[in-house]
Amino acid sequence: MKRVVVVLMVVVLLMAGLALAQQGFTIRGRVGATDQEAQEGYFAVDNQTMIVVKPGSDLHGYLRSRVGQRIRITIEPETGSN
């Protein structure tokens, strides 16, 4: 019986995670990167999240200019997209 409850809880959590992913999410924290990581597009946000961006993109330039500062990035689906 305990296994069934645990499996159902896992399924519910996964479904909730998928629903939240469709709505978007926000990452907050201090940006960290060595010079080489920043040049290659690898940025850490606090100790929990690694963001990889295309070098030369607008987001790459923004993150490079914010290394050492606290930021908030919101990622959400584009309206009208499939």
The long-range contacts involving 50-57, CB below 8 angstroms and separated by at least 24 positions, are 51/27
Mean pLDDT of the chain: 82
- In this predicted model, what pLDDT tens digit does every residue of 5-33 receive, in sequence order? 666 676 666 666 555 556 778 889 999 99
pTM to 2 decimal places: 0.65
Q: Are 41 and 31 in contact (CB under 8 A)?
A: no
Question: What residue ranges do the domains of the chain occupy?
Answer: 25-82
Mean pLDDT score, 68-79: 87
* The pair of three-digit structure tokens given for residue 46, joined into one six-digit string: 């606090």
